[in-house]
Amino acid sequence: MPLNMRKPLAAVTLTTLLTANAYGFSSDVSVQLPSLSVENFFQLNSQYQTKLSEDHMNKFATFLSATLLLTSQANASVYDELASAGYQADTATIETYVESSDRYLAAFAQYKLAIASLVAGDNEKSLANAKAAQIALEKIVAESPEDAEAWSLLSMVKGFQIGLDYAQAVNLGPESDKAARTALKLAPNNPRAHLASGLVAYHKPEQYGGSKTKAVEHFSQTIKLLAVEDTNTIDWGLTEAYIWRAQAYSALNQKQAAAGDLQEALVLSPNNGWVEEQLANLK
């Protein structure tokens, strides 16, 4: 399998580190976790490396690739862990990743910190976190304009800020829309691109092209795509898709469908107080 150079090594085990040491890398590298990406692992300061032949390095890459396959489920859950922490206002967990060397992961953590701050009732901090995520993502897309993941998240971050300060809607609304359309054009089968597009369709006024029905279609596509997506990649969005499809169903007066989606969201994000409250309101 190809080595995913972007994946954080949060789930690398002690056995992995010790075996890495046997290949010439110091187990002291553990101090870099969980922010270390595979790419950065090979670029560590010389204090963590010995001079290795190209053949030696290739052998280690093969070993690490196999290890990541075995631990891919744990690694993939990093995004789900952050998403769940956001809804539960668990800032301590999220802050672990804010300084990640993986810029996308760090921006995602800032986005989830914004949600956590909002849940905790601190709108000012929430807005600051969202702006930090926006700045980081704008740098990523400026350098990598074909990064559909970054465009998708940027759309969501900008849309999120409108909820905190509606006066920004005149600027951030079109920008969020454009970012979502860019992501979907770059990657028509990317679940986060459909999630972002669904959020735009849900929140945009109908007179400007918004549609709860279109939102349901995009959220449904997110769910469908995540059912078959390779878990060795950025994998988040399923809980969010169920939550927002439930909101769209509710707006369309399809209460039973909405309740079903909220139940699915609770399975994915247990003890999610906001989802529980939404379920109670449907009864």
DSSP string, the chain: ----TT-B-TT--HHHHHHHHHTT--GGGGGGTTT-BHHHHTT--GGG-----HHHHHHHHHHHHHHHHHTHHHHHHHHHHHHHHHHTT-HHHHHHHHT-SSHHHHHHHHHHHHHHHHHTT-HHHHHHHHHHHHHHHHHHHHH-TT-HHHHHHHHHHHHHHHHH-GGGHHHHHHHHHHHHHHHHHH-TT-HHHHHHHHHHHHHS-GGGT--HHHHHHHHHHHHHHHTTS-TTS----HHHHHHHHHHHHHHTT-HHHHHHHHHHHHHHSTT-HHHHHHHHHH-
pTM here? Answer: 0.73
Q: Which pLDDT score is estimated for 39?
A: 45
Distance (Å, rounded) from C-alpha 173 to C-alpha 162?
Answer: 7
Q: Which pLDDT score is estimated for 129?
A: 96
Distance (Å, rounded) from C-alpha 205 to C-alpha 200?
Answer: 9
Distance (Å, rounded) from C-alpha 141 to C-alpha 139?
Answer: 6
Q: Consecutive sets of 10 residues in the chain, 283 residues long: mean pLDDT of each?
A: 39 36 39 42 44 52 45 57 78 88 94 91 95 98 97 98 93 97 97 97 94 98 86 81 97 96 93 87 82
Strand partners, 8: 37
Q: Any idea which fold 74-282 has?
A: 1.25.40
Give the CA distances from residue 101 to residues 64, 140, 142, in Å, rounded to whole numbers and listed in that order: 19, 13, 18
Distance (Å, rounded) from C-alpha 167 to C-alpha 162?
Answer: 7
Q: Are 212 and 248 in contact (CB under 8 A)?
A: yes
Distance (Å, rounded) from C-alpha 214 to C-alpha 208?
Answer: 13
Q: Which pLDDT score is estimated for 57?
A: 53
Domain segments of the chain as ranges: 14-70, 74-282
Structure tokens, 161: 């800020």
Q: Which pLDDT score is estimated for 84?
A: 76
Taking the chain, what is the end-to-end CA distance rounded to the nearest angstrom? 48
CA 166 to chain centre: 24
Over its C-alpha atoms, the chain yields an Rg (Å, rounded) of 20
Strand partners, 37: 8
Q: Which pLDDT score is estimated for 92?
A: 85
Q: Which pLDDT score is estimated for 230?
A: 60
Structure tokens, 60: 């280690």
Q: Which pLDDT score is estimated for 54?
A: 57
Structure tokens, 186: 């770059």
